[in-house]
Amino acid sequence: GVVRHYEFTVSRGYVAPDGYLRDVLLVNGAFPGPLIEANWGDTVIVKVHNNITGPEEGTSIHWHGFLQHETPWEDGAPGISQCPVPPSRSYTYEFIASLYGTSWYHAHYSAQYSGGVLGPIVVHGPSQEKYDVDLGPILLSDWYHKEYFDIIEEMLAPNGSPKVTSDNNLISGKMNFDCSTVDPGDTTPCTNNAGISKFKFKTGKRHRLRLVNTGGDGVQRFSIDEHMLTVIAEDFVPVKPYNTSVVTLGVGQRADVLVTANVGKPNSAFWMRSSLTTCSPSRQPNAIAAVYYDRADTSKTPSSKAWNIPNADICANEDLSITEPLYPIPLPKPTLTQNMDIELYKNASNVTLWKFNGVSMRTDYNNPVLLLANDGNFTYPAEWNVVNYRKHTSIRIIVNNKGPVSHPMHLHGHNFFVLHEGPGAWDGTIVRPSNPHRRDVHLVRGNGHLVIQIDGAPGIWAFHCHIAWHASGGFLASLIIEPDKVERMHIPHDVEKNCRAWDMWSKYNI
C-alpha cells in the first residue's frame, strides 16, 4: 500500500452550524474536520498538534473501527493506550487502514469529540454492488449549544441528571435553528435560517451514501423521502444487501447505502431526513437536508412527503435476522463466557454515575494500561476497571442492561460477533450461528441484553458506551487480551514521550 500523510492541529475556534455561535474545538479550523481518505491496506500517518489554549486541554485521537492489531498503542484512548497529547506538543499516529468502508476519527479525551474534534474516514476497497456516484460521508449528529465540559460538570454535580438534552440535530454539520427559542438572557449571537446541507443526485444513477452517527448521544433514524435505501455495509463490515426506507444508527455506527435516483424527474427535489428517536431527548430532533436531481432549482425547497415511518421508541438496531455479513465467519466455541451489567447509581456525594461490570471507571492519564502491561505490571486500581482475560481469546460477553436507557456499545480493535439482542434476559439463542452479524458498535435496548463474542487480539481494548456523557460518567472497561504477548510488544519510545509532561489533566479524566 501507499503511505497517506495528514497533519492535524486541534485548537479552539468558533462555529455556528445551526446559526447559534459556539465556542468549540476544531481540527484544522474546520467542523467537521478534514476527510481522511485511503485505499485498503494503506499506511495512514497523522501528526496531531495540540494547539488548545485558553484554557489548555490535553487531546488524543481515536481512529474508530480500525483493528490496530499490530499497533494497539496507536488506538488513541488516553489512559488506556497512550498518555494524552499535552498542550503545545504533538504526537504522530501511524497505522494500517486494515478495513475498508466508512468510519470517523474523534477525540477520545473526556467528551471532547462532542465539542467538535471529529471528522470522516473513507477507505476504498472492493464492492460487490456496483454504483455510479460516491456522494461521500454524510455525518449525522445531535448538537449542543453548551460547551462539552460545562455539560459534564453539570451532569456530574451532586444531584445532577445523567440525562442530557441536545439543542439540535445536524446533517453534515448544518441545520436551521429558531433563535426565538434561545433562553431569555442568553446573549449569544444567533442567526435564523443558517441553512441546510444540499446534495445532488444524477438522474437514473445509483449513488453511494456513507452515513455516520458522529453525535454525542442520540440514536438517528435516516431516510430520503420516497427513495428506498439499499444497505451494503454496517460499520466496517459488508453485508448482504437489503432494502429499507429507514436506517437506524446509534452513536459511532455507520451504514453504507445505495440509492437510485429513479423516483423523480430530472427537476425533482426531495427531503433527506434524520430524526433523533424518543430515547434521545432533544429540543429540535428532526434534521433535514435537500436532495436535488440534476436539473432541479437548488434555490427551491423540496415539497416531498416523508415515508410513513413508525416512531421508534425501543432504540434498537435492525433485527439481526436481516443484517447478515457478506463474507461469512462461523461462530467458534468460546472458552470463556462473562456477564457484564450496566447500572446507574449514586455515589456518596450524590453524583449519578454509571457502573459497568460493577465499576465506575476513572482513568489515570499518566499511566496508560498498555504501557504498564508492556512493563509487566498487571495490578491496577479497581477504579480503572481493567478486565484481564489472560490466555482466553475466544470470549463471549453478555451485556445486561439494568436500566431503561439504550446504549451504543463499542469495542475497540474488533468487529465483534453479535449473537443476540433483545428485551429482558438472554434466553441462550443465537441468531445465525453459521454467520452471525459483526460490527464494532451495537445498541443494547433499555432493560435488555446484548450478547457479543470476540476472537480477541493481543492488546488493551476499550469497551464502552459511545454516548459521550455516559463514558464520562464512568461507563468504560479496558479488556486485556493475551498479556504475555502484550509484554513482548515492541512499543515505540514516542508513545511514552508525552507521559507526565503535563499535570493538569486530572480535571478532565472523566
What is the contact surface with ligand C2O in residues (CB under 6 A)?
Answer: 62, 64, 77, 106, 108, 252, 410, 412, 462, 464, 466
Residue 199 contacts residue 298 (beta carbons within 8 Å)? no
Q: Which is nearer to ligand C2O, 373 or 471 (CB)?
A: 471
Q: Which is nearer to ligand C2O, 104 or 270 (CB)?
A: 104
Helices and strands, counts by H and E, the chain = 4, 30
Beta strands (DSSP E) in 144-228 are 168-171, 198-201, 206-213, 220-224
Shortest CB 462 distance to ligand C2O, Å: 5
Shortest CB 103 distance to ligand C2O, Å: 9
Residue number of the CB atom closest to ligand C2O: 64
Shortest CB 180 distance to ligand C2O, Å: 35
Q: Which is nearer to ligand C2O, 261 or 411 (CB)?
A: 411
Element (H, E) at 174: none
Q: Which is nearer to ligand C2O, 113 or 292 (CB)?
A: 113
Q: Which is nearer to ligand C2O, 77 or 224 (CB)?
A: 77
- Which position has the grid cell 458506551? 465
Element (H, E) at 37: strand 36-39
Q: Which is nearer to ligand C2O, 355 or 412 (CB)?
A: 412
Q: What is the spatial distance between Cα 156 and Cα 151, in angstroms, rounded to a whole number?
A: 9
Shortest CB 466 distance to ligand C2O, Å: 6
C-alpha cell at 479: 479488556
Strand ranges across the sheet with 168-171? 168-171, 133-143, 206-213, 254-260, 229-234, 237-244
Q: Which is nearer to ligand C2O, 288 or 462 (CB)?
A: 462
Shortest CB 269 distance to ligand C2O, Å: 34
Shortest CB 477 distance to ligand C2O, Å: 11
Shortest CB 170 distance to ligand C2O, Å: 18
Q: Which is nearer to ligand C2O, 33 or 302 (CB)?
A: 33
Q: What is the spatial distance between Cα 292 and Cα 268, in angstroms, rounded to a whole number?
A: 6
- Which position has the grid cell 481494548? 461
Q: What is the spatial distance between Cα 418 and Cα 253, in angstroms, rounded to a whole number?
A: 14
Q: What is the spatial distance between Cα 111 and Cα 149, in angstroms, rounded to a whole number?
A: 7
Residue 497 contacts residue 384 (beta carbons within 8 Å)? no
Shortest CB 80 distance to ligand C2O, Å: 9
Shortest CB 303 distance to ligand C2O, Å: 37
Residue 60 contacts residue 113 (beta carbons within 8 Å)? no
Residues contacting 113, CB < 8 A, separation 6+: 106, 107, 214, 216, 468
- Which position has the grid cell 496507536? 74
Shortest CB 259 distance to ligand C2O, Å: 26
Beta strands 476-481 and 416-423: pairing type? unpaired
Torsion of CA 143, 26, 62, 124, to 10 degrees: 90
Residue 331 contacts residue 419 (beta carbons within 8 Å)? yes
Q: Which is nearer to ligand C2O, 224 or 251 (CB)?
A: 251
Q: Which is nearer to ligand C2O, 121 or 196 (CB)?
A: 121
